[in-house]
Chains A and B, each alone.
Chain A
Amino acid sequence: MIQLKTLLSCIDNSGASIVECVNVLKKKRPATIGDRIVVVVQKQRSAGSEATTAAALANKVRRGDIRHAVVVRVKKELQRPDGSLVRFGDNACVLVNKSGDPIGTRMNGVVGQELRNKKWSKILSLAPVHV
């Protein structure tokens, strides 16, 4: 149930850590796993004080940036075609560019398997675990 103002954690190494949903694309309902949304970067990831410059260089996005993202985990339970339900502990997303390629090069954290049906195999291949 990702909608306007929902805060999500960003689980890739694009440099954003917390983003806020401002729009759900191609859908008149709250977004769920595999849906594309528009987000505003609210908090940047910073890797300690001494490596600030290096980290700042590594950050591909900055606070206040408006980007597209794909939802990869939701708290709201999701029903699979075989009747099983899946629910995650948090809401999370991965930033993508306009053409749908992920901005980050690495991901940490489990993602939902629904991405496969929605043609996000690039994100699935980056993810360490999928459920």
Chain B
Amino acid sequence: MALPAMRPLGCLRSLVRAYEPLPMINRRFISTAYSKRPEKVPLPKDMPPQFLSQIPLRFRPDPDRQPLKIYPAPPSARKTCKDPIGAVTESQLAVLDPKGERKAMFDYRRNPRSVKPGDIVRVTFKNGDPFNGVVLSIKLRGIETSFLLRNELTRVAVEMSVKVFSPNVNSVEIVQRSEKKRRRARLYFMRDRKHDRRSVENIVANYVRQKKAFLGGGNRRR
């Protein structure tokens, strides 16, 4: 067989084959080390055009071919707003709780005077009807902060989870603090029959009566 060097113009195909990428057959071993892909050599400038047909299609110069356009990446949203959820929470809190009273009232981790699990609480809603109950848990979740109340109405247990910053909530009053210091943040064991407080309506009714009397007395003094 004649070497390609001996017939430099007669077998351009074999000349090009030397620069083709190595075939990636499934014969790779841990010891396999592929050599670097050879640099692409441009076609000789003075090559007569009739030889082009001998070159494989993908190596032929294509006058229509454009270089691939690469667009810059869009600007990252992280740079414009680092903590979007925090920003939304802040803005919503500024609207719903401008003085920070409600936040302080339920921030039981920091504020010692806040509502705590185990307290008996009376919530009045905008539509007028109140709901009373023992606080089983307080979920501190920013604007989604809520507390779970449990009570018994007509001998049926009722639980209600109320959002602290809801505009439907008119007021939250602490009727009675829990007698003993609770060691747990979630008092779900109070759902068991053994630990159930049952109805707290009597305690709340007592509180409402006392409050009415107290407020009436205060008004008279003034």
Q: What residues make up the interface of A, taking CB atoms closer than 8 Å to B?
A: 73, 77, 82-90, 92, 108-110, 128-129, 131
Contacts and interface: CB of A to CB of B under 8 A. Distances in A.
12 contacts: A82-B163, A83-B146, A84-B146, A85-B148, A85-B160, A87-B158, A87-B160, A88-B158, A109-B156, A110-B153, A129-B153, A129-B154
B187 interface: no
| Overall SS of chain B's interface | strand
B156 A89 contact: yes
B5 to A, nearest CB: 80
A84 B158 contact: no
B157 A89 contact: yes
A87 B188 CA distance: 14
Interface residues of B, number: 18
Nearest 6 CB-CB pairings of A with B: A89-B157, A85-B161, A87-B159, A110-B153, A83-B163, A109-B154
A89 B199 CA distance: 13
A131 B153 contact: yes
A107 to B, nearest CB: 10
Given A82-B168, A83-B163, A85-B161, 15 more contacts: A73-B156, A77-B161, A83-B166, A84-B146, A84-B160, A84-B162, A86-B160, A87-B158, A87-B159, A89-B157, A92-B156, A110-B154, A110-B158, A129-B153, A131-B131
B31 to A, nearest CB: 61
